[in-house]
Structure 1
Amino acid sequence: MNDLLKLTIRELVDLYAAKKLSPSEYWLAVEDRIDAFEPQVQALYLYDPESARAQATASTARWMKGETLGHLDGIPVTLKELIATRGQPVPLGTAAVDLVPAAEDAPIAARMREDGAVIFAKTTCPDYGMLSSGLSSFHHLSRNPWDLTQNPGGSSAGASAAGAASFGPLHIGTDIGGSVRLPAGWTGLFGFKPSQGRIPVDPYYVGRCAGPMTRMVEDAAFSMATLSRPDWRDGTSLPPSAFDWLDFDVDVKGMKIGLMLDAGVGLPVDGEVRDAVIAAARRFEDAGAVVVPVEPVMTRAMLDGLDNFWRARFWGDIEKMPEARRALILPYIHEWAKGGAEVSGVDAVRGFNQTIEMRKTCGRLFTRVDAVISPTNPIVSYPAEWASPTNDPALPFEHIGFTVPWNMSEQPASSINCGFSKSGMPIGLQIVGPRFDDLLVLRLSRAFEQWTGGVGRWPEPQAA
Structure 2
Amino acid sequence: MSLMDWSATRLLAGYRQGRLSPTEYVDTLIPHIERWEPHINALYEFDDKTLRRDAEAATRRWQRGEPAGPLEGVPVTLKELIAIKGRVIPQGTVVTDLVPAAEDAPPTARLREDSAMIMARTTCPDFGMLSSGVSSFHGTTRNPWRLINNPGGSSSGAGAAGAARLGPLHVGTDIGGSVRLPAAWCGLVGFKPTLGRIPIDPWYPGRCAGPMTGCVEDAALLMASLARTDRRDATRLPPSDIDWQALDVDVRGLRLGVMLDAGCGMAVESPILEAVESAAALFERAGAELVPMVPVMTRQMLDGLDNFWRARQWKALSGLQAAQRERVFPLITQWAARGAELSAVDAVAGFEQSLAMQRATATAFDGVDAIISPTTPNIAFPADYGHPSNDPEHPFEHLGFTLPWNMGEQPAISLNGGFSRDGLPLGVQIIAPRFADRLALQLAYRLESELGPVTRWPQPPA
Superposed, 1:14-413 pairs within 5 Å as 14-413=13-412
- Does the 8 A contact of 2:248 with 2:445 survive in 1? no
1:391 partner letter? N
Structure 1 position 62, deviation (Å): 2.2
Structure 2 unpaired stretches of 5+? none
Which residue identity is paired with 1:40?
Answer: H
How far is the alpha carbon of 1:225 from its aligned partner?
A: 1.1
User: SS of the counterpart of 2:379?
Assistant: coil
CA distance in 2, matches of 1:390, 1:22: 46
For 2:273 and 2:379, the matched residues in 1 are separated by 10
The Cα shift of 1:445 comes to 0.3
TM-score (norm 1): 0.98
1:50 CA displacement? 0.7
The TM-score normalised by the length of structure 2 is 0.98
Gaps of 5+ in 1: none
Distance across 2 between alignment mates of 1:270 and 1:18: 46
Structure 1 position 40, deviation (Å): 0.9
Cα distance, 1:219 vs structure 2: 0.5
C-alpha distance in structure 2 between counterparts of 1:26 and 1:36, whole Å: 16
1:162 counterpart SS class: helix
Give the number of aligned pairs.
462
Instruction: Measure, in 1, the Cα distance between the counterparts of 2:42 and 2:274.
Output: 31
Q: How many angstroms apart in 2 are the aligned matches of 1:364 and 1:173?
A: 28
2-side partners of 1:150 and 1:128: how far apart?
Answer: 21
Helix, strand or coil at the partner of 1:78:
strand
| TM-superposed deviation, 1:64 | 2.6
93-102 or 300-309: bigger deviation: 93-102
SS of residue in 1 equivalent to 2:273: helix
1:27 and 1:324 mapped to 2: Cα distance?
44
Tell me the amino acid that sits aligned with residue 185 of structure 2: W
Give 1:293 deviation, angstroms.
Answer: 0.8
Which residue identity does 2:312 align to in structure 1?
R
Show CA shifts across 1:137-194 (max 9, x none): 1112111100001110000000000000001110000000000000000010000001
Is the CA contact (8 Å cut-off) linking 2:5 and 2:455 kept in structure 1? no
Counterpart Cα distance in 2 of 1:252 and 1:382:
35
Shift of 1:21: 1.7
SS at match of 2:139: coil
Q: Does 1:7 align with 2:6?
A: yes
CA distance in structure 1 between the aligned counterparts of 2:329 and 2:9, rounded to whole angstroms: 41
Q: Deviations over 1:411-449 (max 9, x none)?
A: 000001111111211000000001000000000000000
Query: Could you tell me how far apart the structure 2 residues matched to 1:36 and 1:14 are?
Result: 27
Alpha-carbon deviations, 1:51-100, whole Å to 9, x = none? 11111122222223333221011110000010011111100001111222
User: Using the alignment, how far apart are the partners of 2:66 and 2:344 within structure 1?
Assistant: 56
Larger deviation, residues 436-445 vs 246-255: 246-255
2:51/2:117 contact within 8 Å kept? yes
Q: Which is further off, 56-65 or 426-435?
A: 56-65
Counterparts of 2:62 and 2:242, CA distance in 1: 26
Amino acid at match of 1:269: V
Which SS does the other structure have where 1:328 is aligned? coil
How far is 1:368 from its partner?
A: 1.0
**Paired residues of 2:40 and 2:143 also in contact (CA < 8 A):** yes
- Measured in 2, the distance between the counterparts of 1:341 and 1:220 equals 41
The alpha-carbon deviation at position 6 of structure 1 amounts to 2.4
Amino acid at match of 2:296: V
The residue type equivalent to 1:345 in the other structure is A
**1:18, distance to aligned residue in structure 2 (A):** 2.6
Q: Which residue of 2 aligns with 1:434?
A: 433
Cα deviations by residue, 1:178-236 (Å, 9 ceiling, x for unpaired): 00000000010000001001111000011000100001100110111110111111011
SS in 2 for 1:335: helix
Deviation at 1:276, TM superposition (A): 1.5
User: Residue 302 of structure 1: CA displacement?
Assistant: 0.4
Amino acid at match of 2:62: W
Q: Aligned equivalents of 2:21 and 2:6: distance in 1? A: 13
Counterpart-to-counterpart distance in 1, 2:271 and 2:248: 31
Q: Which amino acid counterpart does residue 385 of structure 2 have in structure 1?
A: W
- Aligned partner of 1:452: which letter? L
Distance in structure 2 (CA, Å) of the matches to 1:360 and 1:401: 16
Q: Given residue 237 of structure 1, which amino acid in structure 2 is its aligned partner?
A: R
Aligned residue for 1:462, secondary structure, equals coil
Kindly report the root-mean-square deviation, in angstroms, between the aligned alpha carbons of the 2 structures. 1.0
User: Residue 84 of structure 2 contacts residue 105 of structure 2 at CA under 8 Å; is this kept in 1?
Assistant: yes
- Code of the aligned partner of 2:455: G
CA distance in 1, matches of 2:86, 2:363: 46
Distance (Å, rounded) in 1 between the aligned partners of 2:269 and 2:16: 47
After TM superposition, give the deviation of residue 22 of structure 1 in Å: 1.6
Which letter does structure 2 place at the counterpart of 1:24? T
| SS of residue paired to 2:140 | coil
Amino acid of the structure 2 residue aligned with 1:135:
V
2: CA distance, partners of 1:342 / 1:62: 60
Moved more, 175-184 or 50-59: 50-59
Equivalent position amino acid for 1:229 in 2: R
For 1:286 and 1:435, the matched residues in 2 are separated by 26
Q: Which moved more, 1:282-291 or 1:16-25?
A: 16-25
Tell me the amino acid that sits aligned with residue 431 of structure 1: I
CA distance in 1, matches of 2:385, 2:321: 27
**CA deviation after TM superposition for structure 1 residue 279, in Å:** 1.3
